[in-house]
């Protein structure tokens, strides 16, 4: 067994152990942890399948897993999507999500007859060259599943991660995870290209495993050094080279500045200025731009623009009710937004409904 195979095997075992740990964990977001555990177990099985396919194993072991890799392959995308969605929005898997499992069901229809057949039937099919019917389907299946995988990686990022405005620590975790999964998905483009060119070798196929290892490594790093990411607790410094490690802003001073900032936003409402910049707010607080950014990131778990726009939305909610004769566009400008599109987009992201719907509902209640 080569060094690279030992590394792959050890990370496969590590994924299993981390998956089991998350399955039995009773704190934090238990539902999301179980989805992620299943995802890690799929990775472990995927590595095992590739490792066995190219490894020096007996014929029975080879025949047992030859097409089994398509099971985790068909589930990577939707499982990752469900995890990101639940972490970002709290939405659970429902019967309405049935269509996400169509690739998996297709794999069962196409390969299930072989995968779940007894070993004697597998050996018979192999010796009588009956596997050719499966081999003919593989290129098309590879293309389709790769397309689904990339689609899930992109859609998950755009829909749930890119504009996520909640907890800053969770946002960091989701972005790191998204980057790792996008890189992992990209390896399948390389894979199907090599298959198309008939240039796939063991070392090149292991490329997919290496990115699985990278993904498992990222998850293990957080779970061991910053377990709060799986427990619903804040993680103050996710990386040793953190952005504010040497900023010099003490906890007590940061708390004082938080109170000062809240008072400023409440009394002077600088967010009503559509041209407000970080430098402007820094000058009002009489601190550096860097410390202002740190203050907002750490004390409010938001970026500067998320923080300012959140206050603008709160102002708009009041104006929408108090000034029913004014159009939504007028309210947008009066609350500090410089265009109607940004106002609608951010309002719906924060409140879940459009400004017009908010006004109508509030007036009906009152």
**pLDDT tens digit string along 332-349?**
999 999 888 888 888 888
CB neighbour class for 129 (10 Å; exposed up to 12, middle 13-18, buried from 19): exposed
Q: What is the pLDDT of residue 168?
A: 66
What is the CATH classification number for the domain harbouring 318?
1.10.10.60
Secondary structure in 3-state letters for 268-282: CCHHHCCCCCHHHHH
Q: Are both 300 and 164 inside the same structural domain?
A: no
294 and 209 fall within a common domain: no
Please report whether residue 105 resides in a domain: yes
279 and 156 both lie in a single domain:
no
One domain for residues 106 and 207: yes
Q: In this predicted model, which residue has the larger pLDDT, 205 or 145?
A: 145
Confidence tier at 287 by pLDDT (50, 70, 90): confident
- When divided into structural domains, the chain yields a total of 2
Do 21 and 88 sit in the same domain of this protein? yes
- Angle among Cα 296, 298, 301 to the nearest 5 degrees reads 75
| Lookup result for tokens 């998850």 | 219
Res. 147 pLDDT band, cuts 50 70 90: very high
**Claim to verify: residue 208 and residue 303 sit in the same structural domain:** no
Higher pLDDT, residue 225 or 288: 288
Is the pLDDT score of 255 beyond 80? yes
19 part of a folded domain: yes
Q: Which two tokens stand for residue 255?
A: 């708390």
Give the range among 202-216, 222-236, 269-283 with minimum mean pLDDT.
222-236
57 falls within a domain: yes
Residue-number span of the structural domain to which 272 is assigned: 251-365
Domain co-membership, 293 together with 160: no
How far is 335 from 317, CA to CA, in rounded Å? 9
Residues 219, 332: one domain?
A: no
Q: Please tell me the predicted confidence (pLDDT) of residue 241.
A: 46
186 with 55, same domain: the answer is yes
Give 174-192 pLDDT, tens digit per residue: 888 898 889 888 888 887 8
Give whole-number Cα distances, 359 to 19, 321, 344, 354, in Å: 46, 6, 13, 9
The tokens of 8 are what?
């792959």
**Within this chain, do residues 96 and 225 fall inside the same structural domain, yes or no?**
yes
Average pLDDT score over the chain: 83
Q: Which residue intervals of the chain are DSSP H helices? A: 3-24, 30-54, 59-65, 70-89, 102-115, 119-127, 132-135, 138-156, 168-196, 202-225, 251-267, 278-285, 289-300, 304-322, 328-334, 340-351, 355-365
Is the sign of the CA dihedral 83, 299, 249, 293 positive or negative?
A: positive
Per-residue pLDDT reduced to its tens digit, 293-332: 888 888 888 888 889 999 999 999 999 888 888 898 999 9
Residue 303, domain member (yes or no): yes
* 176 HSE (CA, 13 A, CB side): 18
| % of the chain residues with pLDDT over 90 | 28
Q: Give 158's pLDDT tier (boundaries 50, 70, 90).
A: very high
User: Taking residues 226-255, what's their average pLDDT?
Assistant: 58
CB count in 10 Å sphere of residue 125: 18
pLDDT tens-place string over residues 211-229: 777 777 777 666 655 555 5
Domain boundary among 198, 230, 262: 230
Is 242 contained in some domain? no
Share of the chain above pLDDT 70, in %: 87
pLDDT digits (tens, 9 = 90+) for 115-141: 889 999 888 888 888 887 877 888 889
Rg (CA), the chain: 26
Residue 58's domain is classified under what CATH number? 1.20.1070
Same domain, 272 and 335: yes
Q: Which of 200, 230, 260 is the last residue of a domain?
A: 230
Q: Please indicate, yes or no, if residue 99 is contained in any of the structural domains.
A: yes
Is pLDDT above 90 for 76?
yes
The DSSP line for 126-172 is HHTTTTHHHHTTHHHHHHHHHHHHHHHHHHHIIIIITT--S-HHHHH
Average pLDDT over residues 197-217: 73
What is the spatial distance between Cα 64 and Cα 123, in angstroms, rounded to a whole number? Answer: 9
Q: Are residues 261 and 196 in the same domain?
A: no
């Amino acid at each position: 067994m080569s060094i690279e195979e030992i590394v792959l095997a050890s990370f496969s075992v590590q994924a299993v152990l981390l998956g089991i740990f998350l399955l039995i964990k009773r704190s934090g977001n238990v539902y999301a942890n179980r989805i992620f555990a299943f995802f890690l177990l799929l990775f472990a099985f995927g590595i095992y399948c590739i490792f066995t396919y190219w490894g020096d194993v007996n014929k029975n072991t080879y025949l047992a897993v030859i097409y089994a890799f398509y099971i985790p392959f068909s589930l990577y995308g939707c499982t990752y999507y469900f995890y990101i969605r639940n972490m970002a929005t709290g939405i659970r898997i429902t019967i309405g999500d049935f269509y996400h499992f169509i690739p998996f069901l297709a794999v069962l229809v196409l390969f299930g007859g072989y995968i779940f057949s007894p070993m004697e039937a597998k050996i018979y099919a192999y010796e009588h060259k009956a596997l050719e019917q499966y081999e003919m389907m593989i290129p098309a299946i590879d293309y389709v599943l790769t397309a689904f995988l990339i689609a899930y990686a992109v859609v998950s990022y755009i829909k749930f991660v890119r504009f996520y405005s909640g907890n800053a620590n969770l946002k960091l975790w989701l972005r790191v995870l998204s980057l790792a999964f996008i890189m992992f998905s990209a390896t399948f483009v390389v894979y199907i290209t090599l298959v198309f060119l008939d240039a796939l070798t063991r070392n090149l196929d292991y490329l997919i495993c290496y990115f699985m290892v990278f993904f498992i490594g990222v998850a293990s790093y957080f779970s061991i050094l910053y377990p709060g990411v799986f427990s619903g607790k804040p993680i103050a410094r996710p990386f040793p080279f953190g952005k504010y490690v040497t900023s010099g802003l003490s906890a007590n001073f940061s708390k004082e500045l938080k109170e000062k900032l809240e008072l400023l936003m409440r009394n002077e409402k600088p967010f009503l200025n559509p041209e407000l910049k970080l430098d402007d707010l820094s000058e009002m607080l009489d601190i550096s731009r860097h410390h202002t950014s740190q203050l907002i990131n750490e004390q409010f778990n938001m970026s500067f623009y998320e923080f300012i726009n959140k206050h603008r939305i709160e102002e708009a909610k009041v104006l929408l009710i108090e000034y029913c004769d004014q159009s939504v566009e007028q309210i947008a400008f009066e609350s500090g937004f410089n265009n109607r599109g940004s106002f609608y987009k951010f309002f719906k992201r924060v409140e879940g409904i459009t400004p017009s719907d908010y006004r109508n509902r509030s007036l009906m209640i009152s």
